Amino acid sequence: MTEKDLLISWLNDAHGMENALIQVLEHQVKDAQDFPHVQAKLEQHLEQTRRHAEMVKGCIETLGGKTSTIKTGMATLFGQMQAVSTGPAKDEMVKNALADYAAENFEIASYTALIRAAEDLNEQQTATVCQQIRQEEEEMALWLQQNLPTLVQQTLKAVTTR
């Protein structure tokens, strides 16, 4: 395996990760109907995530690789299972936000590693794409961090008023 092959493999991991998150976000958008501001943000991030998957696929193809059907399929299955596992509950919005915050930070770390690898291999186009994606993931992580306290308060209030 060459260094470039390893970069392509890591990009395939990121591609699978984005596809898994698409599944999760599709369910979360439906679950957030009682929280319009959260639902709007999740819809926006769902579209970003779809775009990220396409951008990463483009990087893989530019480097001469192909997307991994196995990695994408497994990640999609994992995403579907995660979406179902957080199904309807009184505290689902808080649990979803916690899971999303962890996922965003994992994505940030993944894209940081991809940027370093791409730069070291003089693959500036890939590095630039990964920097753009990482920036959007950082923005979503910050939004979650800022909005989590309000979601907790709203959830506690909803439980006590029932």
Per-residue pLDDT 10s for the chain (162 aa) are 999 999 999 999 999 999 999 999 999 999 999 899 999 999 999 999 999 999 999 999 999 999 976 655 555 555 455 554 445 567 899 999 999 999 999 999 999 999 999 999 999 999 999 999 999 999 999 999 999 999 999 989 887 775
CATH of the domain at 83: 1.20.1260.10
Domain housing 127? 3-160
Please state the pTM of the whole predicted model. 0.87
- Say how many domains are in the chain: 1
Say how far residue 10 (Cα) sits from the centre of its chain.
Answer: 15
